[in-house]
Structure 1
Amino acid sequence: MGHRIFLAGASGAIGRPLTRLLVAAGHEVTGTTRSAEKAEQLKALGAEPAIVDVYDAEALAVAMAAARAEIVIHQLTDLPSGVDPTRMAEFAARNAHLRREGTANLVKATLAAGARRLVAQSIAWAYAPGPLPHREGDPLDRDAEGLRAVSVGGVIALEEAVLTAPLEGIVLRYGRLYGPGTGVEKANAPAVHVEAAARAALLAVDRGSAGVFNVAEPCEELSSEKAAQELGWTAG
């Protein structure tokens, strides 16, 4: 049975293949973008586009209510593909701001719309140093310094907002993305192909209890056993 799904970040690297998968699975998808051009691309994928900025809390709430969302998926980032290394500090700050403020607005809109489940994108390389492989119960690196502290701080804010909200909050801690639309042909471990990342979000629509799931290819650094067992996810 299909659900009414509000996909924030539908025109992004994960959002595009995820839109395709959701529509093929019989879900009714409303996908957000800030671009009229990308709205047409979402229509071609079978989604109903919503041109809205996540920082416009009122417009976001109106769009989600109009979609009558049952499930919300958060795939928003503020990182272009192929980031210029000389501008990493700028983009890390922008992405952390989106994870803080954008996620807060998205959670509020989700609650106002009465949606029951929120699936959100996070990252799998924010763990504090410790025994490997890292599992979901391991602490995040709250003592990080410099640029890493900016990124990890944004991740912590996103995850806490999703996991403490009065709904079914699921956080997918993705490995480093590679594949079409990412600007990366092959990422260092922990890594995950963008299509496999999209499949994890599709599975989380109906499977898995509230909580955190590592989503990455087999490697020494990270265990994705929980995602395999509860979501039925595989990297291949």
Structure 2
Amino acid sequence: MKIFVAGATGAIGSSLVPRLVARGHDVVGTTRSAARAGTLRVLGAESVVMDALDPDSMADAVARAEPEVVVHQLTALSGPADMKSAKRMAAATNELRVAGTDHLLAAARAVGVHRFVAQSNALWMQRTGGSVADESGRMEPNPPADGAEAVAALRHLEDSVTGISWAQGIALRYGGFYGPGTGMSAAPDAVMAEQIRRRKFPIVGGGGGVWSLVHIDDAASATVAAVERGASGIHHIADDEPAPIHVWLPELARALGAKPPRRVPAWLVRPLAGKAAVDTMTQARGISSQKAKHELGWTLRYPSLRTGFTRGLE
């Protein structure tokens, strides 16, 4: 098929594009930077420099590509880990999930795309109903004020994509990424890993927030399955071992050769990092990926975070 990947040089795009090419698909990938266009050509894709927040730029890029499938992986989550940068990246990503999604859907509809696959995430599942949620769960209706914009952007993306009638609209709620090209890897420039090595990523409160993680290669293989045979709706994409932060963070520190993470009371972190950050560290729920396995025929390479941390960080 002819596949248009918006955000093709991000963590998942860099793993997704070569997989699609290897399976015989004709891939057009977008980037915001002309300097990164060569990377896409090396991966086997045609490259397009595009501004996702400019509807004319978006419409022109999609019209020229004439794809059958559009994959929406647009985020702005790369850069330094300081608080100011994190807030700026979060705001830019929220804008891409609202305006960027709207522009991409309009462009896809204009050229007759038959499947539209978009990146969501599972960090803000509703905080009631047990430690693990399936796809019937909804986004948290009452997030902290400093997390409300992010939750609203995710809700907009999911509702907009799964609500289309002119194509299969698929939202993939990914767990937290780890592995090459992500913030949690063995690379020296991996932002979160460096914070863990410097003991600047603590266990907040009791560390009871349950996170589901997924190796970037498994996330990419699930996306390939959704591109090729996904039906409208939401699919959860994560490994089989959702775990509280107080369990998986020390495991990751050990795999990175770092000292155990510090423990910091929630009241101390809240005025520095915000209520939303404390909420995700103490109240988050994990997700079940049984639907994706059954309906997409998806198989995990790293079903356990322990084996993934041991063998999948390089």
TM-score in same-fold range (> 0.5):
yes
Contact 2:123 2:211 in 1 (8 A): no
CA distance in structure 2 between the partners assigned to 1:137 and 1:202 by the alignment: 23
How far did residue 86 of structure 1 move?
A: 4.7
SS state at 2:129 partner = coil
How far did residue 119 of structure 1 move?
A: 0.3
The 5-angstrom pairing of residues 19-58 of structure 1 reads 19-58=17-56
CA distance in structure 2 between the partners assigned to 1:93 and 1:59 by the alignment: 21
Instruction: Give the AA of the match of 1:225.
Output: Q
Pairs aligned (count):
234
Instruction: Give the AA of the match of 1:174.
Output: Y
Instruction: Give the AA of the match of 1:144.
Output: P
1:122 is aligned to 2:144: no
TM-score (norm 1): 0.94
How far did residue 83 of structure 1 move?
A: 3.0
TM-score (norm 2): 0.71
Match of 1:75 among 65, 73, 82: 73
Match of 1:234 among 281, 296, 299: 299
1:18 is aligned to 2:16: yes
Unaligned runs of 5+ in 1: none
Q: What percentage of residue pairs aligned between the two structures are identical?
A: 41
Contact 1:142 1:153 in 2 (8 A): no
1:209 is aligned to 2:193: no
Contact 2:51 2:58 in 1 (8 A): yes
CA distance in structure 2 between the partners assigned to 1:15 and 1:31 by the alignment: 8
How far did residue 82 of structure 1 move?
A: 5.5
CA distance in structure 2 between the partners assigned to 1:200 and 1:57 by the alignment: 29
Match of 1:137 in 2: 136
Instruction: Give the AA of the match of 2:223.
Output: A
CA distance in structure 2 between the partners assigned to 1:120 and 1:148 by the alignment: 21
Say what the alpha-carbon RMSD is for the aligned residues.
1.6
CA distance in structure 2 between the partners assigned to 1:228 and 1:21 by the alignment: 18
SS state at 1:14 partner = helix
Report Cα offsets for 1:90-134 as digits up to 9, x if no partner. 322221111001111010011011101100000011211122320
CA distance in structure 1 between the partners assigned to 2:84 and 2:68 by the alignment: 41
Contact 1:174 1:216 in 2 (8 A): yes
Contact 2:74 2:93 in 1 (8 A): no
How far did residue 81 of structure 1 move?
A: 5.0
CA distance in structure 1 between the partners assigned to 2:81 and 2:215 by the alignment: 18
How far did residue 137 of structure 1 move?
A: 0.7
Unaligned runs of 5+ in 2: 186-192, 197-209, 243-285, 302-314
Match of 1:218 among 237, 240, 244: 240
1:169 is aligned to 2:179: no
SS state at 1:49 partner = strand
